[in-house]
Amino acid sequence: MDPAGSPGRLRSATVVLGVAGGIAAYKAAELTRRLVEAGAHVCPVLTESAERFVGAATLSALASEPVRTSLFEEPEPIPHTSLGQRADLVIVAPATARVIAAYAAGLSSDLLVATLLATRAPVLVCPAMHTEMWEHPAVRENLATLRRRGVHVLEPDTGRLAGGDVGAGRLPDTARILEAAEAALAAEAGRRDLAGLRLLVTAGGTREPVDAVRYLSNRSSGKQGRAIALAAAERGAEVVLVSTVPAEPGPRLEVVPVETAEEMAAAVAARAAGADVVVMAAAVADFRPKAPAATKLKKRDGVPEIVLEPTPDILAGLGARKRPGQVLVGFAAETGDVVAEARRKLESKGADLLVGNDVSAHEVGFGWDTNAVTIVSRTAAVEVPLSSKREIAEAVLDAALAELRAARGGPPGPQGEPQT
């Protein structure tokens, strides 16, 4: 515990402290002092009206950092992005109805809201306003929107307000704001449970050329594989997504476009050795035309005879060469006994987990935004009922992380170095 009584996540953290123009802005001075005592580096950002309530000189002296107020009059050319990128945490205390609305609407009208939009750090919003405003549906709905997006909200206290009124809307004590700040940082660290791990994910159905314009493929939309890649990157992993369907790269997410099973096999082979977890969510064609025509086959030449040959089984190949401590996850889209088929494939392909889904069921599998799966390991079969593909992705990643920990005899990632 540090002198401020916090468990210490604020120590060495860069905290952007946004102060909006409510009467509680005067409490920002005390909050700045306590954050500094907890070891944080505080960068105060004031809205124009906040400057009427609290002196910039006060906050700047307490923070040993210039107070920023404008998008345009700072020494930095683009202060919002540099602040947003540097921040480990952004606190808005007090947050007024206007700042909450602008943040929810993405209206970057001042430096504070622009910084909120330009950061990937956790954000703690501490609303403080008169009871009537606090209870207004506009404020409630804007806060619900922010919460849904993962913003932490510290509910105001009930007590004496400006003008002598008593009611809900009072900024909580500084100690409670510090506690909430610690909790936001802890939640962020927990969310990054895949940090330090490398994931290779495949997505989409492969396309196997018949001639210059036609191909054989399947109904896979690539949505489940993409959801897994995105969720893993957000949980801190370095992810490569080998995909037959277009996907946006992002932070910690590289996208390698491929089309055929052979291209996918080559892309995977080049990267698999470095991966801690490989998730083969792609629907790889099992057969391809043996001799695709280089030009378009003409109708007038009659119905072509297409001779098929097997494609390389990428997952089975990885299973045969699997290095200790690596986790292989396969998928099985089935129309019969999903668990029995998943178990069979787990063995035959040398995978550690097999995610089975019954693609004959409504709202499950190919093309849908929802899925229902059974995650089969050597020791268990865990059913995940109908959920969004994002939720299924989280469950698959949880199971892969548990396998990895079991295989390596200890917690990988931030809690312990992966033993490769």
Question: Hey, which residues are catalytic here?
Answer: 218
- CA–CA separation, 117 vs 100, rounded Å? 12
At closest approach, how far in Å is the CB of 81 from ligand C5P? 39
Is 337 an interacting residue with respect to ligand C5P (CB under 6 A)? no
Is 9 an interacting residue with respect to ligand C5P (CB under 6 A)? no
Is 284 an interacting residue with respect to ligand C5P (CB under 6 A)? yes
Q: Where are the alpha helices (DSSP H) in 48-193?
A: 56-63, 79-86, 97-105, 111-117, 131-134, 137-148, 174-191
Is 18 an interacting residue with respect to ligand C5P (CB under 6 A)? no
- CA–CA separation, 89 vs 184, rounded Å? 8
- CA–CA separation, 289 vs 303, rounded Å? 15
Cβ within 8 Å of residue 73, ≥6 positions away = none
Report which of 380, 333, 389, 384 is spatially closest to residue 356, judged by C-alpha positions.
Answer: 333
Is 286 an interacting residue with respect to ligand C5P (CB under 6 A)? yes
Is 327 an interacting residue with respect to ligand C5P (CB under 6 A)? no
Report which of 407, 373, 418, 385 is spatially closest to residue 281, judged by C-alpha positions.
Answer: 373
Is 383 an interacting residue with respect to ligand C5P (CB under 6 A)? no
Report which of 84, 74, 82, 44 is spatially closest to residue 61, judged by C-alpha positions.
Answer: 44
Q: Which of residues 243-272 bind ligand C5P (CB under 6 A)?
A: 261
Is 53 an interacting residue with respect to ligand C5P (CB under 6 A)? no
Is 203 an interacting residue with respect to ligand C5P (CB under 6 A)? no
C-alpha torsion sign, points 172, 174, 179, 180:
positive
Is 280 an interacting residue with respect to ligand C5P (CB under 6 A)? yes
At closest approach, how far in Å is the CB of 331 from ligand C5P? 4
With respect to ligand C5P, which residue has the nearer C-beta, 184 or 332? 332
With respect to ligand C5P, which residue has the nearer C-beta, 93 or 228? 228
Strand order in the sheet with 152-153: 41-46, 14-19, 89-95, 123-127, 152-153
Size of the residue set binding ligand C5P (CB under 6 A)? 13
Is 365 an interacting residue with respect to ligand C5P (CB under 6 A)? no
Only one of the segments 189-197, 281-289, 382-390, 394-402 lies at the binding site for ligand C5P (rule: CB under 6 A); that segment is 281-289
At closest approach, how far in Å is the CB of 266 from ligand C5P? 13
Is 313 an interacting residue with respect to ligand C5P (CB under 6 A)? yes
At closest approach, how far in Å is the CB of 196 from ligand C5P? 25
Tokens for 332, please give them: 């099985």
At closest approach, how far in Å is the CB of 336 from ligand C5P? 12
At closest approach, how far in Å is the CB of 54 from ligand C5P? 58
Is 282 an interacting residue with respect to ligand C5P (CB under 6 A)? yes
Is 331 an interacting residue with respect to ligand C5P (CB under 6 A)? yes
Only one of the segments 74-82, 209-217, 327-335, 374-382 lies at the binding site for ligand C5P (rule: CB under 6 A); that segment is 327-335
Q: How many CB atoms lie within 10 A of CB 145?
A: 15
Give the H/E segment covering residue 45: strand 41-46
At closest approach, how far in Å is the CB of 390 from ligand C5P? 19
With respect to ligand C5P, which residue has the nearer C-beta, 211 or 313? 313
With respect to ligand C5P, which residue has the nearer C-beta, 78 or 320? 320
Cβ within 8 Å of residue 377, ≥6 positions away = 346, 352, 353, 399, 403
Is 311 an interacting residue with respect to ligand C5P (CB under 6 A)? yes
At closest approach, how far in Å is the CB of 284 from ligand C5P? 3
Do residues 45 and 69 make contact, with C-beta atoms less than 8 angstroms apart? yes
Is 330 an interacting residue with respect to ligand C5P (CB under 6 A)? yes
Do residues 131 and 165 make contact, with C-beta atoms less than 8 angstroms apart? yes
| The amino acid at 15 | V
Out of 98, 198, 343, 345, the only residue in the binding site for ligand C5P (CB under 6 A) is 345
Tokens for 324, please give them: 């200790």
Phi first, then psi, for residue 111 (nearest 5°) are: -60, -40
- CA–CA separation, 353 vs 375, rounded Å? 7
Tokens for 69, please give them: 């107020």
Is 399 an interacting residue with respect to ligand C5P (CB under 6 A)? no
- CA–CA separation, 232 vs 173, rounded Å? 37
Cβ within 8 Å of residue 388, ≥6 positions away = 227, 369, 370, 371
Is 396 an interacting residue with respect to ligand C5P (CB under 6 A)? no
Is 315 an interacting residue with respect to ligand C5P (CB under 6 A)? yes
Is 343 an interacting residue with respect to ligand C5P (CB under 6 A)? no
Out of 314, 375, 393, 399, the only residue in the binding site for ligand C5P (CB under 6 A) is 314
Dihedral Cα 217, 219, 222, 227, nearest 10 deg:
-160
Summarize as ranges the residues that interact with ligand C5P (CB under 6 A): 261, 280, 282, 284, 286, 311, 313-315, 330-332, 345
